């Protein structure tokens, strides 16, 4: 059995995706324009994440008629503030900007774990009280 070959336009799409990715700007995605404030320069820094994909398909109509092929793709780029460089005559320092989503996620995870632990303790106590669980 031979493997089906992707449509001819697959190579063009791959080339187009790599060209689009290189056009995004590299380091300029992470580092903002420097801002002069007195004798200091502040450079904003972002955390950048990109994702994407593409696919192709080929098939025949259920009645055995026409054969067709096609493809498609998509992607996204996400940037969140990470911090800034403070460049002063005394030196350079990085100041992080806390991510509120990460903090909220950590609090939520801790609360879920605590709820599960309390639920397990209550269940064990109820089963022991009902005589369904022997004490060791």
**Across 95-115, average pLDDT:** 87
Q: Are residues 80 and 110 in the same domain?
A: no
- The 10 Å Cβ neighbour count of residue 84 is 19
Q: Are residues 57 and 112 in the same domain?
A: no
Q: What is the DSSP letter of 64?
A: S
- Cβ atoms of 47 and 79 within 8 Å: the answer is yes
The 10s digit of each residue's pLDDT in 48-89 is 888 888 788 888 877 877 788 888 888 888 888 899 999 999
Residue of 94 and 79 predicted with greater confidence: 94
CA distance 15 to 9: 10
Q: Are residues 52 and 103 in the same domain?
A: no
- pTM score: 0.49
What pLDDT is recorded for position 115? 93
Residue 135 predicted with pLDDT over 80:
no
Tokens 């008629």 label which residue? 65
CA distance 53 to 113: 35
Q: Are residues 54 and 104 in the same domain?
A: no
The 10s digit of each residue's pLDDT in 35-50 is 998 999 999 999 888 8
The 10s digit of each residue's pLDDT in 19-37 is 665 666 666 778 889 999 8
What pLDDT is recorded for position 18? 60
11 lies in which domain range? 1-97
Q: Are residues 49 and 83 in the same domain?
A: yes
Q: Are residues 47 and 15 in the same domain?
A: yes
């Amino acid at each position: 059995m031979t493997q089906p070959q992707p449509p001819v336009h697959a190579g063009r799409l791959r080339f187009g995706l790599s060209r689009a990715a290189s056009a995004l700007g590299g380091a300029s995605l992470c580092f903002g324009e420097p801002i002069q404030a007195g004798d200091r320069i502040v450079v904003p820094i972002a955390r950048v994440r990109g994702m994407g994909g593409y696919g192709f398909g080929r098939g025949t109509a259920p009645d055995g008629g026409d054969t067709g092929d096609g493809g498609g793709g998509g992607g996204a780029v996400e940037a969140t503030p990470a911090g800034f460089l403070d460049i002063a005559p005394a030196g350079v320092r990085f100041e992080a900007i806390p991510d509120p989503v990460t903090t909220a996620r950590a609090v939520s995870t801790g609360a879920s774990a605590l709820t599960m632990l309390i639920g397990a303790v209550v269940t064990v106590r109820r089963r022991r009280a009902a005589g369904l669980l022997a004490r060791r």
